[in-house]
Chains A and B, each alone.
Chain A
Amino acid sequence: MEITISIITGIMIIGALYAIHAKDLLSSVIACGIVGYSLVICFLLLKAPDLAIVQIVVDTITLIIMVAVVLDSSREEKYSSLDKQGYVNAITGFLFIVIFLWFFIASIQELDVLGKSTLRMAGPYIEGAAQKTGSANLVTGVVFDFRGYDTMGEAVVLVTAVLGVLTILRLKGKK
């Protein structure tokens, strides 16, 4: 299974690289879709159907909105030559890549093999969770019962995002 996930991850990397370098913005958006839908297959292989359902639906709607935006504005990417500010940005980005890569390599040696380790809180959640919460789907039991504050925060974040969209995008004032 690790080989399959490695191949899918390779396809995701190729799709992401193509999305950056494509001349046509529409094909770039479609290449972003490759990344999202490959992630769905990864979630299914790792036995997380809840996450897979959310990912496939959200990815589809994001793609629809992005394609609408691209068709509405322009399909050509506007290139501009690097000026002084551009060089500063490029050097800063490269430095951050080196720093993050170093921390990533240092931290990945402490981790266990993917899927082998269980977190300290996972054991008490699984033991008798169906009797404690009454829910046959363990994920819903954890999301709405044990981690209720998280879900409430997520709902409030969504409301705040909609308020921000309505406030920023409204060009014509309301009388």
Chain B
Amino acid sequence: MTLIVKKTTQLISGMIFMYGIYVIIHGHLTPGGGFAGGVIVAGSLILIMLAQGGDFLKLVKEEAGTTIVESLATLMVISIAAAGFLFGTHVFFNNFLPKGIVGQLVSAGVLPLYNIFVGTEVAASIFIIFLSLIIFKEESPQ
């Protein structure tokens, strides 16, 4: 890509990344949540990769790391759900943390934690599908 596109994406992709994190963290207050914010975060990463171009085969290490992040995030979601067995009424998906005041940033018990981990998992999933699409194409013998 040309220099204009490269510089513009360098300026913008950070803001898009921060907006995705905002949507994830405020998921229990405003519209949005884990799924939408995760896709926005993945979109900022995809944008900067498409604009910069270059040698995609060097990204194999990032691909392995993203796989681990994705699996760990899913494991954390299931662990938080299973942690409901330990406190109060012993049921799956028990909201065991204090609820707080409705409308504040730190409130709603475990719901923000679910949002954060689901957002991480979705971002890693979308990004890894994109990475595998370009890496495996470069790897394949023509």
Contact = CB atoms under 8 A, between A and B. Distances in A.
A149 B93 CA distance: 8
Contacts of B107: 134-136
Interface residues of A, number: 42
A136 B29 contact: yes
A155 B135 CA distance: 24
Main secondary structure of the interface of B (DSSP, over half): helix
A162 B125 contact: yes
A151 B111 CA distance: 12
Interface extent on B, as a size class?
35 or more
B21 interface: no
Main secondary structure of the interface of A (DSSP, over half): helix
Given A57-B36, A134-B28, A166-B128, 16 more contacts: A49-B31, A53-B23, A57-B39, A61-B42, A61-B126, A134-B99, A134-B107, A135-B107, A136-B103, A144-B114, A155-B121, A158-B125, A166-B132, A170-B132, A171-B136, A172-B136
15 contacts: A53-B23, A58-B39, A60-B43, A61-B126, A68-B50, A133-B95, A133-B108, A136-B29, A140-B115, A148-B92, A152-B93, A155-B74, A162-B125, A171-B136, A172-B140
